[in-house]
Structure 1
Amino acid sequence: MTDVVRAEWTKLRTSPATVWAVLAVAVGTAALSALAVTTVRCPCAGDPMTLTLVGVQLGQAVAAVFAAGVIGGEYATGMIGVTFAATPRRPAVLAAKALLVSGLVGGAGAVGVVAAWAAGHAALDTGFAARPVFGSVLYLVLVALLGLGAATLTRSSAAAIGLVLALLYVAPIVIGTVGDPDWKRHLRQWGPADAGLAIQASTGLDSLPIQPWAGLGVLGLWAGAALLAGAVSVSRRDT
């Protein structure tokens, strides 16, 4: 497994896209949050921590696009055949990619989220709360893994990106239009974005459709299911 990780790391570190993607996750997350907190005055109408970490909603898109391209790009160029010829244990390739994507997005996400919190603290005097801050980093990692799994299953960066971004941005809007409050609550409990972002809440926890860690667990189930489906797909289908 060490050799597989080393080979995949060589691909990633020699690709200029990796550097730009990692920077974009960190900068995008921090910049949007900094912009958001400078436009409001306390006392805030909503949850100040959620506002402080709003940049995660931009960083998640970059993380998903990057992760989808990690394997989707190889399918597009045909290099996936070379990869699997060198490493016949195909699930091991996916596991190595998942490990590296988690590390890169986690590191970039940590920088971006901490910078976002620092901006919020300076502008809104937001106190430090470990769960929303660390949970937001985990959220970004899980979104990236969801993108990686979707790209492995669809064998297409474009298809995977479209699917994941629809789940993250379009689905919450559609759910918001549901008239029945009970149905709306249940849908938010199982939507990857609505459930996962509950981890950022610091006030009004009783009114949330799902509790913070349980919500992040739902996103984890989505990511795990995508990776499992991807692993089964690469094991049983021709390249």
Structure 2
Amino acid sequence: MRAALRAEWTKLWTVAGPCGLLLGLIVATIGLSAAAGAVVTCASAGCDPLGPGLVGVRLGQAPAAVLAVLMISGEYSSGLIRTTLTAVPRRPVVLAAKAVVLAGVVAVAATIAVLGSLAAAGTTARPGDGTTLRVTGGSILYLVLIALLGLGVAAVVRDSATSVGVILGLVYLFPVIAQVIGDPHWQRVLQRIAPMSAGLTVQATGDLGGLPLSPWAGLAVTAGWAAAALVAGGLVLHFRDA
């Protein structure tokens, strides 16, 4: 496992793409949040003080997902996957190493992005407040889980363009469908099972009783998507020829 981790770390930092995508995650998240903070004021008593500072997570998740896809599908397109599996014959170890390295670098970038977003948006929340800690930590975990979901999808699909389409469709298409459907029951069902709609309930600060899921339960739904994708990806990697 140690050798596999070292190999994945080396591969990640010896090409230009991952660095650009991690920077894109940070810039996209902070940029959109700063723009939201510039146009949204929080003067009323019922206003969410953290809302403008967190909206950028919805955009920042896209570079995180693309990075995850390229970590494995890029090896299939270049043929490097054969070398990887020759060096580390235990295929589940390969996927586990990729997941650990991916989670680590996305967590660092997500921390910078989320904290930078809250500062750029001029939020008034107290740093030591329990709700602030939950919202901040939950947003970072959400970005990590979306990246792991992308890794699992790419391990199943293998093709980069198709994998990116699948993961972005899973993330962004569910909320659109929920808005189009007129039936409130099915709207709520989609909000409860969609990886983004459910996961981002962790950012809620008010009217928690009116949410489709509680904040941590919603994040658990996203974790379930990521876990299922990784298990499926591990099985495909194990049984299918490279």
- The TM-score by the shorter chain falls in which range? over 0.9
How far 1:17 sits from its partner (Å)?
A: 1.2
| Structure 2 residue 82 is the aligned partner of structure 1 residue 51 | no
Structure-to-structure mapping, 1:163-202, within 5 angstroms: 163-202=166-205
**2:174/2:190 contact within 8 Å kept:** no
**2:146/2:226 contact within 8 Å kept:** yes
CA distance in 2, matches of 1:127, 1:189: 29
CA distance in 1, matches of 2:203, 2:160: 29
CA distance in 2, matches of 1:225, 1:43: 42
| Structure 2 residue 213 is the aligned partner of structure 1 residue 222 | no
TM-score, with normalisation over the residues of structure 1? 0.96
How far 1:19 sits from its partner (Å)?
A: 1.3
**2:49/2:124 contact within 8 Å kept:** no
Structure 1 residue identity aligned to 2:124: D
Q: Please name the residue that 1:73 is paired with.
A: 74
Superposition CA RMSD, Å: 1.3
CA distance in 1, matches of 2:12, 2:19: 9
CA distance in 2, matches of 1:204, 1:52: 19
- Between 178-187 and 64-73, the greater mean CA deviation after superposition: 178-187
Q: Please name the residue that 1:92 is paired with.
A: 93
How far 1:51 sits from its partner (Å)?
A: 2.4
TM-score, with normalisation over the residues of structure 2? 0.94
1:46-82: CA deviation from partner (whole Å, max 9, x where unpaired):
5332322001011100000011000010011111111
Q: Please name the residue that 1:135 is paired with.
A: 138
Q: Please name the residue that 2:241 is paired with.
A: 238
Q: Please name the residue that 1:23 is paired with.
A: 23
CA distance in 2, matches of 1:20, 1:183: 39
How far 1:119 sits from its partner (Å)?
A: 2.0
Counting aligned pairs with the same residue, the percent is: 46
CA distance in 2, matches of 1:7, 1:94: 12
**2:42/2:48 contact within 8 Å kept:** no
Size of the aligned set, in residue pairs, is 237
Q: Please name the residue that 2:33 is paired with.
A: 33
- Between 5-14 and 219-228, the greater mean CA deviation after superposition: 5-14
CA distance in 2, matches of 1:179, 1:81: 49
CA distance in 2, matches of 1:183, 1:229: 27
Q: Please name the residue that 1:42 is paired with.
A: 42
CA distance in 2, matches of 1:10, 1:137: 24
Tell me the SS of whatever aligns to 2:39.
Answer: coil
Structure 2 residue identity aligned to 1:177: V
1:166-197: CA deviation from partner (whole Å, max 9, x where unpaired):
11112111111222212211211111010001
Unpaired segments ≥5 residues, structure 2: none
CA distance in 1, matches of 2:51, 2:217: 17
Structure 1 residue identity aligned to 2:146: V
CA distance in 2, matches of 1:35, 1:61: 18
Q: Please name the residue that 1:63 is paired with.
A: 64
CA distance in 2, matches of 1:106, 1:84: 26
How far 1:154 sits from its partner (Å)?
A: 0.4
CA distance in 2, matches of 1:50, 1:238: 46
- Between 169-178 and 65-74, the greater mean CA deviation after superposition: 169-178
Structure 2 residue identity aligned to 1:19: C
1:7-43: CA deviation from partner (whole Å, max 9, x where unpaired):
1111111111121111111121111101111012222
Structure-to-structure mapping, 1:82-121, within 5 angstroms: 82-120=83-121
How far 1:217 sits from its partner (Å)?
A: 0.2
